[in-house]
C-alpha cells in the first residue's frame, strides 16, 4: 500500500516529471539554484495572502493555494485527516518540510528530486468500491483507467512509441495529477470537469512549448473514460494474517487509536513476540487438515475421529506461549478459519472442560453469597436459621458456620471443595431442558 510506485527518481518518465512541474512548481528542479528551498514560493505566498485579504474585506474572489509540492506532501502524509485547518497548521507544515529538505545539507537538488518521487507515489486519488483508497500515480492509472503501470512508463519513456498510445497515457497521467486538487469531485462526481481542465492544460502546455503540438492534438482527441469500479483487490488469505492482525488490534488499545483505518496511517514500527517462521508453518499445517488425504495420512479417521465428517468443516486453532522469567511470550496465534475472526481471541467456545469450570465457579459464588449472609448472624440467630429444604448449599453453609463460628470466606470455600458427592450414574439431574440421566458412563 500503495501497490504501484516508482522505486527511484530515474525510473519516472521525463514527460510525467514535466507535467507535474508544470502543474505544481515549474522551478522545482532548477539546477542553477543548488541551495533553493522548495518549501516556500514567495510569489505564490504573497498572491495567496493578498487574495485572502480581499476575501476578508468581502470581495468575492477565488483564493489560490500557497502550498508548494513539499508542503502538500507534508499535509498528505502527516496532517490529521490530510487537511490544513488554519494558518498555524500551514506554518507547521512549512517548517517540517524545510527540515526534511535540508536534513542532508545545504544542497537540495537531490532532496527536490525525492519530493517529486514521493509526491507521485503518494497522490491521494479518492477511493473506489471493491478497491478501497487509491494512492500513488501507479495505483491511480490501474484503478481509474485500467492501464498497466509498467506499460504506461514504457510508452512515455520511449520516443518510438506510437503517438496515439503516448497521447492516451500522457493524458491519463496528467488528469490524475490535476485531480489531486479535488479528488472526489473530479474523479467521482464530475469527470467532465476534469476533462475540461485537462484539455485546457494541454493547450497551454503546447502553446508554451512544454509538449509538442502533435502530442497535444492527439491527447485532445482522446476522451477521458474513468472506470466507476476498479478490478477487485487481490483476495486476502485471512489465515496468514492472524498474527499480524492480533498485533494490530493490540496496538489500537495501546495507542488509543479508534480504528485500523487510522492505525494504518501512522508512521509506526512495532515488534511482537510471535515467531513468524513457526507461525507460518503451523498455519500451513492447520490448513492442510482440510484435505481428506492429509487426515488419512495422519491417522485421524478412526473411531470418534473424522471417519465420516467433512474435514474441511473442522476449525482448528493453536495458541502457544513460551515460559520466561516472570512472564510468558506469545509465540504462535494461528487458526485455519479463512475469515477475519480470530478464533483464539475472538471466539467463545462452549467446551465440556470449560463448562465444568464455569459450573464450579458459579457453585463457589453461591457458597460465597451464603457465607456473606450467614456469617453476619450471631450464633443464636444462626441456630434458628431454617433455609428452604431444597436449598442444599445454604443448609450446608449455615451448618458449617454453626460448627465453625470463626470461619472466614477462604476457609469456607476450601471446606466446600472437600465435600463428597455420589457418583451414582443412575441419578436424575435437571437442566433447562428438563430431567436427564447419564448415558455415556462406562463401568470399566
Residue 127 three-state SS: strand
Cβ proximity of 157 and 6 under 8 Å:
no
- Per-residue pLDDT band at 92 (split at 50, 70, 90): confident
132: left (phi over 0), alpha (psi -120 to 50) or beta: left
Axis-axis angle for helices 163-179, 14-24 (nearest 10): 40
Q: What is the pLDDT of residues 17-40, one digit of tens each?
A: 999 999 998 989 999 999 998 888
Residues 262 and 273: their CA atoms lie apart, in Å, by 24
Q: What is the pLDDT of residue 53?
A: 58
- What's the grid cell of residue 153? 512508463
Q: What is the pLDDT of residue 266?
A: 81
Residue 431 three-state SS: strand
- What's the grid cell of residue 412? 469456607
Whether a cis peptide bond, with omega within 30° of 0, leads into 2 is yes
**Residue 424: how many other CB atoms lie within 10 Å:** 8
Q: What is the pLDDT of residues 235-260, one digit of tens each?
A: 778 999 999 999 999 999 999 998 88
Q: Which residue from 370, 439, 148, 265 is spatially nearest to 139, judged by alpha carbons?
A: 148
Q: What is the pLDDT of residues 367-397, one digit of tens each?
A: 999 999 999 999 889 888 889 998 999 999 9
Return the percentage of the chain with pLDDT > 90, whole number.
Answer: 59
Q: What is the pLDDT of residues 285-302, one digit of tens each?
A: 999 999 999 999 999 888
Q: What is the pLDDT of residue 54?
A: 58
Q: Which helix (H) or strand (E) holds 144?
A: helix 137-145
Q: Which residue from 219, 225, 239 is spatially nearest to 194, judged by alpha carbons?
A: 225
Amino acid at each position: 500500500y500503495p501497490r504501484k510506485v516508482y522505486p527511484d527518481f530515474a525510473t519516472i518518465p521525463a514527460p510525467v516529471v514535466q507535467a507535474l512541474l508544470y502543474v505544481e512548481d515549474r522551478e522545482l528542479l532548477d539546477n542553477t539554484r543548488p541551495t533553493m528551498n522548495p518549501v516556500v514560493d514567495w510569489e505564490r505566498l504573497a498572491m495567496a495572502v493578498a487574495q485572502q485579504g480581499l476575501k476578508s474585506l468581502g470581495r468575492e474572489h477565488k483564493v489560490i493555494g500557497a502550498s508548494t509540492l513539499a508542503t502538500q506532501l507534508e499535509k498528505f502524509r502527516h496532517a490529521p485527516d490530510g487537511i490544513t485547518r488554519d494558518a498555524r497548521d500551514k506554518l507547521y507544515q512549512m517548517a517540517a518540510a524545510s527540515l526534511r529538505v535540508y536534513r542532508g545539507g545545504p544542497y537540495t537538488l537531490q532532496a527536490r528530486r525525492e519530493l517529486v518521487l514521493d509526491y507521485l507515489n503518494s497522490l491521494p486519488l479518492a477511493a473506489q468500491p471493491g478497491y478501497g483508497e487509491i494512492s500513488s500515480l501507479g495505483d491511480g492509472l490501474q484503478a481509474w483507467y485500467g492501464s498497466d503501470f509498467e506499460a504506461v512508463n514504457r510508452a512515455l519513456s520511449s520516443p518510438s512509441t506510437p503517438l496515439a498510445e503516448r497521447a492516451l497515457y500522457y493524458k491519463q497521467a496528467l488528469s490524475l495529477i490535476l485531480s489531486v486538487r479535488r479528488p472526489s469531485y473530479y474523479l467521482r462526481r464530475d469527470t467532465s470537469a476534469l476533462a475540461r481542465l485537462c484539455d485546457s492544460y494541454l493547450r497551454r502546455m503546447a502553446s508554451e512549448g512544454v509538449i509538442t503540438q502533435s502530442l497535444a492534438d492527439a491527447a485532445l482527441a482522446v476522451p477521458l473514460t474513468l472506470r466507476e469500479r476498479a478490478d477487485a483487490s487481490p483476495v486476502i488469505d485471512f489465515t496468514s494474517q492472524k498474527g499480524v492482525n492480533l498485533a494490530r488490534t493490540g496496538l489500537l488499545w495501546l495507542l488509543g487509536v479508534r480504528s485500523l483505518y487510522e492505525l494504518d496511517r501512522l508512521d509506526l514500527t512495532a515488534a511482537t513476540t510471535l515467531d513468524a517462521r513457526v507461525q507460518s508453518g503451523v498455519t500451513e499445517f492447520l490448513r492442510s487438515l482440510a484435505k481428506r488425504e492429509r487426515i488419512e495420512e495422519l491417522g485421524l479417521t478412526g473411531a470418534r475421529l473424522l471417519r465420516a465428517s467433512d474435514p474441511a468443516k473442522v476449525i482448528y486453532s493453536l495458541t502457544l506461549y513460551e515460559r520466561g522469567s516472570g512472564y510468558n511470550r506469545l509465540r504462535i496465534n494461528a487458526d485455519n478459519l479463512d475469515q477475519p475472526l480470530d478464533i483464539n481471541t475472538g471466539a467463545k467456545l462452549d467446551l465440556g472442560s470449560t463448562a465444568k469450570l464455569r459450573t464450579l465457579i458459579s457453585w463457589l459464588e453461591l457458597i460465597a453469597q451464603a457465607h456473606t449472609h450467614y456469617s453476619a448472624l450471631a450464633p443464636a440467630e444462626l441456630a434458628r436459621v431454617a433455609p428452604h429444604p431444597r436449598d442444599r448449599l445454604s443448609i450446608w453453609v449455615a451448618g458449617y458456620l454453626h460448627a465453625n463460628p470463626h470461619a472466614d470466606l477462604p476457609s469456607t470455600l476450601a471446606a466446600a471443595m472437600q465435600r463428597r458427592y455420589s457418583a451414582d450414574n443412575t441419578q436424575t439431574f435437571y437442566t433447562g431442558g428438563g430431567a436427564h440421566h447419564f448415558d455415556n458412563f462406562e463401568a470399566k
